[in-house]
A and B are shown apart, each in its own frame.
Chain A
């Protein structure tokens, strides 16, 4: 199976002198295509830092990150931006939709950046919104949608670019129980049916229970890697 995410001996330290915190300490992981992985650990354990690194949003102090066969430390800033656009889908805890754009426009936006033709955009966005259960809500602005619905738009946006994998940082933290179950069902279905790779940073037990692989992190170190 193809490896889409690989890190080797990642180290990252924040702060200086007495306030120095080692967020990652020699972290090496390898995630294959089609995995449904949860990065688990208490607050401050380093899971979000690791997620940012494999999302190309942050750089390690030392170590290597190879994403979809590309060593990202070799990439310039603009190349990294293009790489993110083409390979990585993000789902954030606070949804982070553009408030002035409708659900349709939010999902379409990344395809605009990629220069996808209008017809193709329209077909794909309508299908994605239907897949995430938002048929009829295409023209609603984020403020007119519930938290669960907004997170579904975020998933549709993440999928729109046809990424190699999706990174989700505490995607269920702001959702109620039903919305969490619905969202996990959606992601699980995408993983099962389309072999989409998901990596979650979470401490939500409901997500951990659904994950096929759970990587436990504490004090910046991987303490357990459990494949179910």
Chain B
């Protein structure tokens, strides 16, 4: 469960936030001039909305990063470091330096992957170029003040962070292209409540803006169901096998019970109850063991660094922090008990089909 959930949470915590706001046309034309409408009113609206714990305004443009070792297409994100760090947890993922807490005149924070590609270290120079409003080319040397690593090669290779005030200085624009919002409530509900309250802007939850996240969330449930079904299916075989063996070993006792007048229905109930007792003993044991395992790996993480290279290429954290929603403990216990009842049916039928005469003679 932690695998998918940690990917979704990571995207929300480090990359996209819970909600985003752009101008209505930004997605079709991300020209530098396509900034947010009525920015001040929008900020006031967000400040007055319940359930929003933090937000950050961003300048966003595409450009390139060039060093002596090569060049890369990048997304230049102008940020106010303080609000950015309140909104996203990228400050916790700095592998070197700081997140724009620097005395350098033009500081930049780059991803670990980009740093590897362009051979960047702290204080390395990198030339950042992008197109201004008047179509003129802006090129400026920035110095690396921090390198972040979030375990997502594509993101690290593409996104660089610079202070908003330096971008303003270079472009002469004091406007923003997007707002990232962190919520402490239901992002989808807050998005719905804000829709239509900011003319010219598009307010979207992470699921609206990045359908792949919503898909991943949906997939989590589906994949868990499939996984559980496979486990329950295997469990069924285990129960059927154990009980069948147990019945064959107790053929004689069952034969006696039949001979002295125990009805088939009672024998059936007896065997199914036996199966349910296995479940009642096993399920809490498994749930407790699972709870502590998840607690341990949820805290210390499940280190898959050996496969980290491949995992980060797909945006997955090489250290997996397991988690499981409380409801699943009950659902899985229910599954197991259901499986024990179903698993007991065939052996119970087998027991009632025994011929008492030959069963009594069985040794």
Query: Could you list which residues of chain A lie within 8 angstroms of chain B, going by C-beta atoms?
Result: 52, 55, 57-58, 77-78, 81-82, 84-86, 90, 92, 96-99, 109-110, 113-114, 157, 161
Contact = CB atoms under 8 A, between A and B. Distances in A.
Contacts of B252: 96
Contact of A57 (B253, B259, B266): B259
A90 B259 contact: yes
Contacts of B342: none
Nearest to B262: A113
Nearest to A101: B253
- B interface secondary structure, majority: helix
Interface string B247-260: 00000110111111
Given A96-B252, A113-B266, A57 B260 contact: no
B264 interface: yes
Given A98-B253, A113-B266, A81 B360 contact: no
Given A57-B356, A57-B357, A99-B253, A78 B263 contact: yes
B357 A58 contact: yes
A77 B260 contact: no
Contacts of B360: 92, 96
B76 to A, nearest CB: 77
Contacts of B256: 92, 96-98
B261 interface: yes
- A interface secondary structure, majority: helix
B260 A85 contact: yes
Given A57-B356, A58-B357, A84 B264 contact: no
Given A81-B261, A109-B260, A110-B261, 14 more contacts: A78-B264, A81-B258, A82-B261, A84-B261, A85-B260, A96-B252, A96-B255, A96-B259, A96-B360, A97-B256, A98-B257, A113-B261, A113-B263, A161-B261
A52 B356 CA distance: 10
Nearest to A158: B260
21 contacts: A55-B259, A57-B356, A57-B357, A81-B258, A81-B262, A81-B263, A81-B264, A82-B261, A82-B263, A85-B260, A86-B261, A90-B259, A96-B255, A97-B256, A98-B253, A98-B257, A110-B260, A113-B262, A113-B263, A157-B260, A161-B260
A9 B182 CA distance: 91
A194 B48 CA distance: 95
B304 to A, nearest CB: 49
Contacts of A84: 259-261
Contacts of B264: 77-78, 81
Nearest to A114: B261
A136 to B, nearest CB: 25
B320 to A, nearest CB: 47
B177 to A, nearest CB: 77
Contact of A90 (B260, B262, B265, B266): B260
Contacts of A85: 260-262
A139 to B, nearest CB: 20
Identify which of A58, A86, A96, A109 gathers the most chain B CB atoms within 10 Å of its CB. A96
A58 B359 CA distance: 13
Nearest to A85: B261
A52 B261 contact: no
B259 to A, nearest CB: 6
Contacts of A97: 256
A202 to B, nearest CB: 17
Nearest to A100: B253
Identify which of A86, A99, A113, A157 gathers the most chain B CB atoms within 10 Å of its CB. A113
Identify which of B252, B255, B360 gathers the most chain A CB atoms within 10 Å of its CB. B360
Contacts of B259: 55, 57, 84, 90, 96
